[in-house]
Amino acid sequence: MSRHSEVAGTERPPGFVFHRQSKGLFRRGADLVLHCEDLPLPTLAERYETPLYVYSATAIRQRLLTFQKAFREVPHTICYSVKANSNISILRLLARERCGFDVVSGGELERVLVADRRAAKKTVFSGVGKSADEMTAALKAGILLFNVESESELWALAECATRLRTTARVALRVNPDVAADTHPHISTGLRKHKFGVPISDARELYAKASGARYLKVAGISVHIGSQITELAPFAEAIARVSGLLRVLRADGHRIEYVDSGGGLGIAYQEPGVDFDAMVARYARAVTNPLRGLNVHLLLEPGRAIIGPAGVLLTSIIYRKENDGKRFLVVDAAMNDLIRPVLYSAYHEIVPVVQPVNSTKKMETVDVVGPVCESGDFFARDRELPRTEENDLLAILDAGAYGMSLASNYNTRPRPAEILVQGKSVKVIRRREKVRDLFSAEL
């Protein structure tokens, strides 16, 4: 097996691939260097410093296209889940590809409107705690659909719509009591969770909603969780929704939309999984229970589109050893990527430069940051090729829930974000300065 084939399992094509690169004055040696599209990551690190979020525009487009192809035989709209990564340049890229959006706050809605105001008509508003101000803003923007999650919210929305004398299209988010094999913090489809209304109560609520002058019953919504890789729970949830749909239509409701939510996971530890085939199987699981029902399907992928399209690039500050325990202390920290401590999440970590036919030994290390918390780690007891201080590491599959969950803990400025297309690069968020963190304080 060649050295290149050994690292291929840690690549994320088409965005992040190792390329052979000659080194030295006389070009006698060669390294495998991780690139984002056509640009080597060491060059980007030198130009923009670390820690640094790097995204591939080609990877984002290709993964969106995979969803569009998989669902091409049914009327559908892909409503990208803004919470996964809400950078306005990324939203603008997706809008240009005819993508809609799923928002869960007034702030996310405002981001969509800044990216492309026309995208409002393909935007759905989810979330259990929409305020009157948020609902009013969404009504004024002319969004496609409100996914309503309680009876109280239903009447609050009716009041906002009446005040504006405009019609709000609504879907009730039903809780199907379907278990999904995922982390407890991102499972949402059981009766013990705060999301949605019990599916057994939905018929009565739809009847009440239909009597409100400025509410238009238009759909049914369901979402059972995030980072789900088994397809059976999706099929089970939609099967229950299809049963409710038939009952509601028999009651005289005109149900046009079924919002199947998002939640399709990515293979953090098995990058060789055929993504196109996985999405095709997901499409069959979601669409089969809806055959013959003549509905427009709304889908809310987020992580599945943006996750593998981004990496967090970081530099090793120090090597450290405590009684045989080895640490790599890097300049990124839990405030930049909190997923490992928050969800016990696994991220592949690779040296950006790997000598061809290297004789370097593997070592077991903890990859940790400089924040004053024991939870400030990216990997524990991880086997990696030996690296030295000032070497670069790439934390892979960091495009989703990386920067969107980032904070300024320890008064640490957040990283810059860049978007690469071929040989072109654009700064889509400048690196914060410490003085930026004081600007809102009195």
Query: Annotated catalytic, 160?
Result: no
* pLDDT for the residue numbered 224: 87
Q: How large is the average pLDDT for residues 72-77?
A: 97
In a domain, residue 119? The reply is: no
Final residue of a domain: which of 280, 301, 322? 301
Final residue of a domain: which of 301, 321, 346? 301
Asked whether residue 362 falls in the same domain as residue 247, the answer is no
Asked whether residue 285 falls in the same domain as residue 353, the answer is no
Q: How large is the average pLDDT for residues 326-354?
A: 96
In a domain, residue 17? The reply is: yes
334 neighbors 373 (Cβ within 8 angstroms) = yes
In a domain, residue 399? The reply is: yes
In a domain, residue 174? The reply is: yes
Model confidence at 216: pLDDT above 60: yes
Asked whether residue 148 falls in the same domain as residue 264, the answer is yes
Q: What is the pLDDT of residues 308-327, one digit of tens each?
A: 999 999 999 999 999 999 99
Highest mean pLDDT among 2-6, 270-274, 369-373 belongs to: 369-373
Q: What is the pLDDT of residues 175-189, one digit of tens each?
A: 887 755 444 443 443
Task: Provide the number of structural domains found in the chain.
Answer: 2
Model confidence at 435: pLDDT above 80: yes
Q: How large is the average pLDDT for residues 331-346?
A: 96
For residues 175 and 168, the model is more confident at 168
Question: What is the rounded CA–CA span in Å between residue 177 and residue 190?
Answer: 4
Question: What is the rounded CA–CA span in Å between residue 313 and residue 45?
Answer: 7
Model confidence at 52: pLDDT above 90: yes
Q: Which two tokens stand for residue 242?
A: 């299809």
221 neighbors 193 (Cβ within 8 angstroms) = no
* pLDDT for the residue numbered 273: 86
Final residue of a domain: which of 257, 277, 301? 301
297 neighbors 258 (Cβ within 8 angstroms) = yes
CATH number, domain with residue 256 = 3.20.20.10
91 neighbors 115 (Cβ within 8 angstroms) = yes
Question: What is the rounded CA–CA span in Å between residue 286 and residue 216?
Answer: 25
CATH number, domain with residue 369 = 2.40.37.10
Q: How large is the average pLDDT for residues 383-392?
A: 97
Asked whether residue 220 falls in the same domain as residue 348, the answer is no
Q: How large is the average pLDDT for residues 19-37?
A: 80
Model confidence at 430: pLDDT above 60: yes
Asked whether residue 260 falls in the same domain as residue 401, the answer is no
Q: Which residues face 102 on adjacent strands?
A: 81, 124
In a domain, residue 120? The reply is: no
Confidence at 295, pLDDT banded by 50, 70, 90: very high
Asked whether residue 249 falls in the same domain as residue 382, the answer is no
Model confidence at 156: pLDDT above 60: yes
Q: Which two tokens stand for residue 348?
A: 């592949």
**Peptide bond before residue 176 is cis, with ω within 30 degrees of 0:** no
Asked whether residue 366 falls in the same domain as residue 228, the answer is no
Asked whether residue 292 falls in the same domain as residue 317, the answer is no
In a domain, residue 108? The reply is: no
In a domain, residue 62? The reply is: no
Asked whether residue 165 falls in the same domain as residue 234, the answer is yes
Question: What is the rounded CA–CA span in Å between residue 329 and residue 319?
Answer: 6
Q: Which two tokens stand for residue 81?
A: 């889940």
Number of C-alpha atoms within 13 angstroms, CB side, residue 441?
6
Q: Which of 309, 350, 313 is nearest to 7 (CA)?
A: 350
Residue range(s) defining the domain that contains residue 24: 3-56+310-438
Model confidence at 393: pLDDT above 60: yes
* pLDDT for the residue numbered 187: 41
